[in-house]
Structures are given as structure tokens and as C-alpha cells.
Amino acid sequence: MTKIIIGNQKMYMDKEDVLSFVNDIKSYDKGSVPVILCPTFVYLDYYKDVCKVGAQNVSINDNGSYTGEVSASQLSSLGINYCIVGHSERRNFQKETDDEINKKIKKLLEKDIVPILCVGEKKEERDNNLTEIIIKKELEQDLKDITRDNIDKIIIAYEPIWAIGTGLTPTNSEIDETITFIKNYLKTIYNDVNVTVLYGGSVSEKNVDELNSIASVDGYLIGGASTKFASLSYIIDSQK
Ligand code: 13P
């Protein structure tokens, strides 16, 4: 089954790197594989004509006096259709709370931008069998007051924090179990809804063939490997 490929390019590339990357993507045939790339705000415009584009963050506020922030309305006016929210790096470094993440999701939905909501556990939480409890708590708080009409407009990304940028991944059966847990939890809350759930954390050209066999995984949220054309194109080709 073809999986959705989303690249979270974080704060990795300078302009020269971006121009060369965009040039490579432009002349590459993605076939029918859905590819969404999420560069930092300053590069959004460079990607617009070559693929679907997402932002990595959005303000909890509407347009106004908020220096350094970017609103959902501004993203929408640029034609941006996706936005990552609740990434563990923002939860950790910017101390982003579940309440703020919930507000951001609502702002994005108002502007018809698809939120890509990240959830996941720390290593010690997995070791102590707390993964499902942690994820349920995040989903409950982040999706507070989100209605049945809106839930399937949201993409969920399961990203174990300890797998991000480390080269470590859970086993295929651990990934399958957690993704199935997320899907079943949302089905219970939202009357049998089917939500798209991605896996993220050290996905690369080295392990994608093995990960592809997990049927419950609808796609990948890829960090480091999404900034290298050779790695990203290998991952996309593996879906054809
Ligand atoms: P890496 O693929 O670099 O581990 O990052 C994953 C991630 O955080 C995507 O959002």
C-alpha cells in the first residue's frame, strides 16, 4: 500500500541547500505517491510549485501584535495546506503545552489547514509500559472539543521521542501495536472514524523497506532523511 510521505525539514538547511534540494525534487517523478514537505517558514515559498507544502508551527493567535509569530490566516494566504503541531522538540524546547497545541489545531482547522499532530513517549515511559497511557493523555488534551466532523481532517504522527534523530526505532510489532492503539482509541471516541496515522523517528533509506511491511502505518513523518534528496527519493520510490 502506498504510504504518505511527509518531510519535517526542521531548522536544517541554509538557502543554498534548499535551492539545490528544490531543484532536484522539481525534476524527479514522484509518481502518485503523496509527498508533503515542511521547511521552515522562510523557505515555504520555494517549495510551492514542486510539491504539497506544510509549515512546522503556527501561532495560537489571529493576526495582530505578536512579534515573530505566524498565523493560520497568513499560512492560508500563502496557499499552505498542512502544518505540524505538537512536535516533541517544541514540547521540550519551547515548553509548548497540550492546551496550546489544542488551540493551534483549532486555528488551523478554521483555515482548512490539515494539522499533523505529533504524539509519543519517552524511553523510560516505554520501558515502564506507559506508552499507551501517555499517548491517550496527549490525544485527549490535544483534541479537546474537536468534533466528529473535524477529526478525519487531522493527521496523527506517532513519534517515539527516543527514536527521533537517534537511529533507534521500535520493532515493527511495537509500532503496529501503538498505531493500532491510536486508531482504535479514536474509533471509540469518534464513532468508528478512520484517522490517518503516520510513524516518525529515524525513518531512512536504510530501514524503510522493513517498515513498509507494517500495514497499520499510513505513512511516515521523516526528519533528517527528508533533507537529503537521495534518501528521500529512495523512500518515495519504495512506495511505487
Ligand atoms: P528523524 O527522522 O530525523 O529521526 O526525525 C523524526 C522527526 O522528528 C520528524 O518529525
Which pLDDT score is estimated for 1?
79
Q: In sequence order, what are the residues at sequence separation of 6 or more whose Cβ sits closer than 8 angstroms to the Cβ of residue 131?
A: 121, 125, 160, 178
Q: How far, in Å, is the centroid of ligand 1 from the Cα of 164?
A: 5
37 Cα distance to chain centroid? 10
Distance between CA atoms of residues 206 and 62, nearest Å? 42
78 pLDDT band (50/70/90 cuts)?
Answer: very high
Does the pLDDT value for residue 20 go beyond 90?
A: yes
Atom 2 (ligand 1) nearest CA = 223
On whether the CB atoms of residues 239 and 25 are closer than 8 A, the answer is no
| AA letter at 12 | Y
125 in catalytic set: no
Q: For the chain, give every domain's residue range.
A: 4-237
Q: How far, in Å, is the centroid of ligand 1 from the Cα of 221?
A: 7
Q: What is the pLDDT of residues 21-71, one digit of tens each?
A: 999 999 999 999 999 999 999 999 999 999 999 999 999 999 999 999 999
For all residues of the chain together, what is the average pLDDT?
Answer: 97
- Output the ligand 1 site: residues, CB below 6 A: 8, 87, 159, 164-165, 200-203, 221-225
What's the mean pLDDT in 72-79?
97
Long-range pairs of 166-173 with CB within 8 A, sequence gap ≥ 24: 166/201, 166/202, 167/202, 168/201, 168/202, 169/201, 169/202, 169/203, 169/207, 169/211, 170/126, 170/201, 172/210, 172/211, 172/213, 172/214
Residue 34's SS3 state is coil
Q: What percent of the chain has pLDDT over 90?
A: 99
Distance between CA atoms of residues 205 and 234, nearest Å? 6
Q: What is the pLDDT of residues 109-165, one digit of tens each?
A: 999 999 999 999 999 999 999 999 999 999 999 999 999 999 999 999 999 999 999
Tell me the CATH number for domain 4-237.
3.20.20.70
Q: What distances in angstroms separate CA 228 from CA 44, 140, 206, 223, one per listed residue?
A: 17, 35, 13, 10
87 in catalytic set: yes
